[in-house]
């Protein structure tokens, strides 16, 4: 099943396989981000054959396919528990915002449809 088939299926979560070799565990969710409850498309696990890692396969798919598709459906893209520093930096440079999840020490990021990133870090009184 690819991403479009998953979205058409009504399933809540599944492993999807794309033609470019990506295997991604995706989830439809309702998340509290800041003070807003949002419908999200979560990317919970991303797997790519070793020969394709570090070559922009995932980031191209994300930018050229997933983000426009999610935006057309009004879904926030949520990439959880990022353990790859280079991917984290790429996502932040490309409009993703650090999630204000105080309970997970591994960063997660999100991108709302057609919105500029903003700081959601907790306010600390001076």
**Number of helices and strands (H, E) in the chain?**
4, 6
Q: State the pLDDT at residue 100.
A: 85
CA distance 47 to 103: 25
Q: Where are the alpha helices (DSSP H) in the chain?
A: 3-9, 57-61, 67-72, 85-93
The CATH number covering residue 16 comes to 3.40.630.30
Percent of the chain exceeding pLDDT 90 equals 76
Q: Is 119 within a domain?
A: no
Segment 55-73 shows an average pLDDT of: 95
Q: Is residue 123 situated within a structural domain?
A: no
Q: Is the pLDDT of residue 53 over 90?
A: no
Tell me what pLDDT residue 115 has: 55
Residue linked to tokens 């999100």: 110
Task: Give the total number of structural domains in the chain.
Answer: 1
Q: Is residue 120 part of a domain?
A: no
**Would you say residue 118 lies in a domain?**
no
* Residue 104 maps to a domain: yes
**96 is in which domain, residue-wise?**
3-111
């Amino acid at each position: 099943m690819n991403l479009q088939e998953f979205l058409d299926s009504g399933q809540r979560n599944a492993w999807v396989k794309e033609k470019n070799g990506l295997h991604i565990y995706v989830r439809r969710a309702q998340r509290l981000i800041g003070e807003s409850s949002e419908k999200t498309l979560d990317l919970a696990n991303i797997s790519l054959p070793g020969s394709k890692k570090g070559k922009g396969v995932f980031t191209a798919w994300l930018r050229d396919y997933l983000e426009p598709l999610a935006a057309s459906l009004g879904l926030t893209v949520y990439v959880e528990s990022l353990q790859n520093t280079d991917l984290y930096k790429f996502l932040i440079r490309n409009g993703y915002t650090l999630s204000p999840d105080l309970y997970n020490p591994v960063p997660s990021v999100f991108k709302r449809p057609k919105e500029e990133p903003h700081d959601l870090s907790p306010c600390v009184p001076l």
